Amino acid sequence: MQAIWNGEVIADSTDTIVVEGNHYFPVESVNMKFMKPTDTHTVCPWKGEANYYSIDVGGEKNIDAAWYYPEPKEQASNIKGHIAFWKGVEVR
């Protein structure tokens, strides 16, 4: 699987985890030079608190387009160390 935005491959992995239709990429498969942490946080009742990244490619920003759970709840522990994408990021 690949996550692509603005013509750049942001993540590339053969080992994603699918949860609720979203592919979670291992952090080591994500090109972190494109990822900028934000102050956004949301809470999922069964996964826990999510943190977000904006994606910056070629001077264009996609705000809060990726998220991860730094300390997921036990029932979502398999996605620890993984990042998922949305907001126009093509995952294929």
Model confidence pLDDT, tens digit, residues 40-87 = 999 999 999 999 999 999 999 999 999 999 999 999 999 999 999 999
Residue 27: which pLDDT band, with cuts at 50, 70 and 90? very high
pLDDT score at 79: 98
Residue 20: which pLDDT band, with cuts at 50, 70 and 90? very high
Q: Each residue of 68-86: b (16+ CB within 10 Å) or e? A: bbeebeeebeebeebbbbe
pTM score: 0.97
**Amino acid identity at 12:** D
Q: Which domains does the chain have, with CATH numbers?
A: 2-91 (2.170.150.40)
pLDDT score at 15: 97
Average pLDDT for residues 5-34, to the nearest whole number? 98
Q: Each residue of 22-52: b (16+ CB within 10 Å) or e? A: bbbbbeebbeeebbeeeeeeeeeeebbebbb
pLDDT score at 47: 98
